[in-house]
A and B are shown apart, each in its own frame.
Chain A
Amino acid sequence: TQLLEQSPQFLSIQEGENLTVYCNSSSVFSSLQWYRQEPGEGPVLLVTVVTGGEVKKLKRLTFQFGDARKDSSLHITAAQPGDTGLYLCASINYQLIWGAGTKLIIKP
């Protein structure tokens, strides 16, 4: 069974700083998704990465899929309080396998 490890579990930084969170697996991902979950809400899909080495950008968020497709990272530039939330990665097999998430707090 594929397990996804996300790190760090918790991150609290000041507005304007940059940050990177990670999603790692012991086995190869077929594809990987990143979701953001705000308090009291369900997760919302941010991006799907499919090809090893792929980089996708969504405004200030940059998503990278490792060449070997066993890891992925999310980099946020100039973080804003609106980026606060739980960031989840999910591996696509016949269903989604979820990591436990990184809880991100951006302080004004």
Chain B
Amino acid sequence: NAGVTQTPKFRVLKTGQSMTLLCAQDMNHEYMYWYRQDPGMGLRLIHYSVGEGTTAKGEVPDGYNVSRLKKQNFLLGLESAAPSQTSVYFCASSYEISGEWSYEQYFGPGTRLTVT
């Protein structure tokens, strides 16, 4: 099992450009998440999904959109990148136990994005 994979690993964008980050998991997990990590601020939840075809906003959703068309994939889009979106982005997934959230999150290796 590859676990959670993210592409690309690094990206540099100019202000106003758009891009999509791809997250894939091969563990058949129901839940998937996108976080950003900035120095001194810990992980902040951008969007999450509790199943195929469903998405919801997290703590810092502005400027981002997501889609989960397939259970194993969770896409994060930046329509018009801004320097404030320079960050490391992590995708995570988690599973259910008896229909309830298991709490344990499995993380991908991250995407380092710089917006100039």
Contact = CB atoms under 8 A, between A and B. Distances in A.
Tell me if A's interface is mostly helix, strand, loop or mixed. Answer: strand
Given A48-B104, A92-B103, A95-B58, A42 B40 contact: no
A44 B58 contact: no
B76 interface: no
Interface residues of A, number: 20
Given A95-B45, A95-B48, A95-B58, A44 B40 contact: no
B42 A33 contact: no
Contact of A42 (B42, B44, B104, B107): B107
A42 B58 contact: no
A100 B110 contact: no
Contacts of B80: none
Contact of A96 (B41, B105, B109, B110): B105
A45 B107 CA distance: 9
A98 B42 contact: yes
Nearest to B104: A45
Interface of B: 4, 40-45, 48, 58, 90, 92, 103-105, 107-110
27 contacts: A33-B103, A33-B104, A41-B109, A42-B4, A42-B92, A42-B108, A42-B109, A42-B110, A43-B43, A43-B90, A44-B107, A45-B104, A45-B105, A48-B103, A48-B104, A88-B42, A88-B43, A90-B43, A92-B103, A95-B48, A95-B58, A96-B105, A98-B42, A98-B43, A99-B42, A100-B40, A101-B42
